[in-house]
């Protein structure tokens, strides 16, 4: 269990974020076309997993925009945005913002993802959603960067994540 905060109030996650050097857990999530997609779709590519509570919040939206900008200049890297939002919300947001370089995935059919990745918020007003976290995974499915953002309302450390991608 990890302790994070929401507006300074303590809250907890189920489990721990995967550690640097460990293999990332497999997952199957739902894309904006309602197709189930597994992690192995990107095996052999570097990946950034941006995990967050909801695309319809300012910080989550901003992180998606920033990672989309990076992806536009680095097409060899898979930039994967993950939340509990329905695929319709992901599709609407990316369409409204003209974001074409990130992949959005919903946990709507996977009750295990947030628990397996140690980001399931267990208490407080956001219980049941994912905490804000960024993982960078290498071509062999090994975690090379892991950040569980300590305050849910804060942005992740973009520089560290992009540096781990080799940027």
**Helix extents (H) in 48-106:** 58-73, 87-97
Tokens of 22: 């460990």
Q: Give the whole-angstrom CA distance, residue 18 versus residue 145.
A: 9
Q: At which residue do the structure tokens 């550690």 appear?
A: 19
Tokens of 165: 């991608």
Q: Known catalytic residue: 60?
A: yes
Length of the chain, in residues: 167
> From the candidates 4, 60, 133, 134, which is the catalytic residue?
60
Active site members? 60
């Amino acid at each position: 269990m990890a302790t994070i905060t929401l507006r300074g109030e303590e809250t907890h996650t189920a489990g721990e974020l995967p550690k640097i050097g460990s293999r990332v857990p497999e997952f199957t999530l739902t894309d904006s076309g309602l197709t189930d997609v597994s992690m192995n779709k990107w095996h052999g590519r570097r990946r950034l997993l941006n995990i967050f509570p909801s695309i319809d919040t300012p910080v989550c939206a901003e992180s998606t925009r920033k990672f989309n900008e990076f992806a536009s200049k680095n097409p060899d890297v898979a930039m994967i945005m993950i939340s509990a939002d329905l695929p319709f919300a992901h599709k609407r947001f990316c369409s409204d913002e003209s974001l074409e370089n990130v992949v959005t995935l919903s946990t709507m059919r996977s009750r295990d993802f947030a628990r397996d990745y140690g980001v399931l918020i267990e208490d407080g007003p956001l219980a049941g959603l994912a905490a804000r976290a960024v993982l960078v995974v290498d071509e062999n499915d090994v975690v090379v960067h892991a950040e569980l953002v300590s305050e849910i309302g804060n942005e992740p450390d973009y520089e560290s994540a992009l540096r781990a991608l080799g940027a």
